[in-house]
Amino acid sequence: MKVFAHRGASGDFPENTKSAILEALKVDVDGIEVDIQSSLDDYMVIHDSWLDRTTSGKGRVSNFTAHELSKLDAGNGEKIPTLQQLFDWNNNKSLLNIELKHTFALERFVAQLEQNIEAKKISKANILVSSFDHHQLQWLKNKLPWLKIGALTSSIPINYAKFASDLNAYSVHADKTFINKAFAEDAKKRGLKIYAYTVDREEDIALMLEYGIDGIFTNYPARTKAYLLSLQK
């Protein structure tokens, strides 16, 4: 079962910051998940559309420029990273899962993605773009047929993973509390990977193994990897 660092190694470092991302890379995760919001003029690595919970700022991310946002503290004196910084820090070994939150001007996102893939020789197989906004995913897949897309859900849909097959997705990313064996098996039957978020406790990890889940998003990637390794002994 693959281990993805959720918002970086966010259990021990401020979520979606440089330290959380670099720590995740250091422990050699299979993938890193980060969240993207649009500012007035750029894409920022931050989970909420509001600044209040995770930064020293107040208000909507989308009401500020990247320069204005760069003055804020995102925890332990760190800054809110830009999407470009994320590409700069990426080691091209782990999968980079970019979760699009409140994002707009997707043409610019596509251009920036393609430019970085070209300039930094990033393997296309190492990029996975996910979203709860399936319209956004559909638009992206039409634009970039090679792109791996991950369809997020926090429910057990009536036709299980059909919605993701319809999107021609690579993977389904499901809330661990709304996932079961039938859902997992349906995803697999359709040739989709199924990943669960956010899985930190050993009992939940064991349950995901039982369901045959392909990967989990965890806030504690080092601890989770060590636990999975201990099960193999």
Q: How many residues of this chain interact with Mg ion, rule: CB under 5 A?
A: 2
Nearest Cα residue to 37 out of 23, 55, 10: 55
In whole angstroms, give the CA distance from residue 78 to residue 101: 21
SS3 172: strand
Judged by beta carbon distances under 5 to 8 A according to partner kind, the member of Mg ion, ligand G3P, none in contact with residue 128 is none
6 catalytically annotated? yes
**197 touching ligand G3P, by CB under 6 A:** yes
Of 170-189, binders to Mg ion (CB under 5 A) are none
CB of 174 to ligand G3P, least distance (A): 9
* CB-based closest residue to ligand G3P: 197
47 is catalytic: yes
Q: Which of 15, 30, 35, 186 binds Mg ion (CB under 5 A)?
A: 35
Angle between helices 202-211 and 181-189 (to 10 degrees): 50
At closest approach, how far in Å is the CB of 63 from Mg ion?
22
Which of 23, 30, 42, 99 is the binder for ligand G3P (CB under 6 A)? Answer: 99
Alpha helices in 60-213 (DSSP H): 66-69, 83-89, 106-120, 134-143, 162-166, 181-189, 202-211
Instruction: Tell me which residues in 126-185 interact with ligand G3P (CB under 6 A).
Output: 130, 152, 173
* 116 touches ligand G3P by CB under 6 A: no
Q: Which of residues 43-82 bind ligand G3P (CB under 6 A)?
A: 47
Contact at 8 Å (CB) between 130 and 170? no
* Residue 42: both structure tokens together: 């750029």
Task: Report residue 86 as tokens.
Answer: 């994320």
**Chain residue at closest Cβ approach to Mg ion:** 99
Q: Residue 135 corresponds to which tokens in the numbers above?
A: 């319209």
- Looking only at the bridges linking them, the beta strands covering 31-38 and 148-153 are unpaired
130 binds, among Mg ion, ligand G3P, none (CB under 5 to 8 A by kind): ligand G3P
Give the integer Cα–Cα distance in Å for 175 and 9: 19
Shortest CB 22 distance to Mg ion, Å: 18
Query: Which residues are part of the catalytic machinery?
Result: 6, 47
